[in-house]
Amino acid sequence: MKFDLHCHTKEGSFDSKVSLSEYIRKYRILGYDGFMIADHNTWRACKKWSYLRDLPEYADFTVICGIEYDTKDAGHVLVVLPDGVYPSLLKVRGMRCKKLIRLVHTLGGIIGLAHPFGVRSSSAMGFKLMDRHLLEEIDFIEVFNTCEAHDSNYLAGELAVKYHLPGTAGTDAHNAQYLGMAYTEIDADIRNNHDFIEAVKNGAIVSAGGVEREDTRKSKAKDHWAGVIGYKIYNRGLGKLKMPRRKYMHRKQFGRLVK
């Protein structure tokens, strides 16, 4: 089965111009079997899909409900939890990666690094914390991202090989023009989140790749030192501001389940 495993939807991302229905329509035309929702810190699109998934017209198409979470110390990570599990805690950015890993695994999900060698302010390998011990707790690595440079994707692939982790690919699309520029082929019957989680754990991913898009003014600005520092201040500042709410929600939802 063929998937795009990193998509931002209009329903869940303010800067995305592609709706759930448009993803499904265009990916059917392109011969894909499904895609993964990966909006930042929100389950809005996933919850909308839960109302649509049983409609007859979507019976032969799979939408994996995930989230791209903004950690405090490891950039962006991709999270997939069992079907119907949407903890509101993950809507509050700024959790440390180690705690997030433990939470996700406790809930029966999987976690992967998004574009690990991409823009330093939002990619795991741009943070000192990402040492061998933490990498050994990761379940998969995004080895191809359409928005990243060739060198970044190459290094991500090398990292996956080094740690014997499955490699996925996604367009990171916010615009329809990039649909179809990344693919992940999986030797398994994927109909829901549970199937995808089991496929990753069992090493069913066959191949991942695609075509990098052209550089844009926006992408160059994000990698400029001023953009990197600015984003880190924004991300950490907002994460710290929301820390009291995050701690309260953690105690309320999970108690001492994940320290």
SS (HEC) of the chain: CEEEEEECCCCCCCCCCCCHHHHHHHHHHCCCCEEEECCECCCHHHHHHHHHCCCHHHCCCEEEEEEEEECCCCCEEEEECCCCCCCHHHHCCCCCHHHHHHHHHHCCCEEEECCCCCCCCCCHHHCCCCCHHHHCCCCEEEEEECCCCHHHHHHHHHHHHHCCCCEEEECCECCHHHCCCEEEEECCCCCCHHHHHHHHHCCCEEEEEECCCCCCHHHHHHHCHHHHHHHHHHHHHHHHHCHHHHHHHHHHHHCCCCC
Question: For the segment 93-128, what is each residue's pLDDT rounded down to a tens digit?
Answer: 989 999 999 999 999 999 999 999 998 878 988 887
Q: Is the pLDDT of residue 249 over 80?
A: no
Average the pLDDT over each of 46-55, 141-150, 220-229, 240-249 and give the range with the smallest value.
220-229
Find the mean pLDDT for residues 242-252. 65
Say which range, 28-42, 156-170, 221-235, 237-251, has the weakest mean pLDDT. Answer: 221-235
Whether residue 149 is predicted with pLDDT greater than 70 in this model: the reply is yes
Taking only the tens place, the pLDDT of each residue in 161-189 is: 999 999 999 999 999 999 999 999 999 99
Instruction: Determine the Cα–Cα distance for residues 23 and 66; give it in Å rounded to an integer.
Output: 15
2-254 placed in CATH 3.30.420.40: no
Task: Find the angle CA(178)-CA(39)-CA(197) to the nearest 5 degrees.
Answer: 95
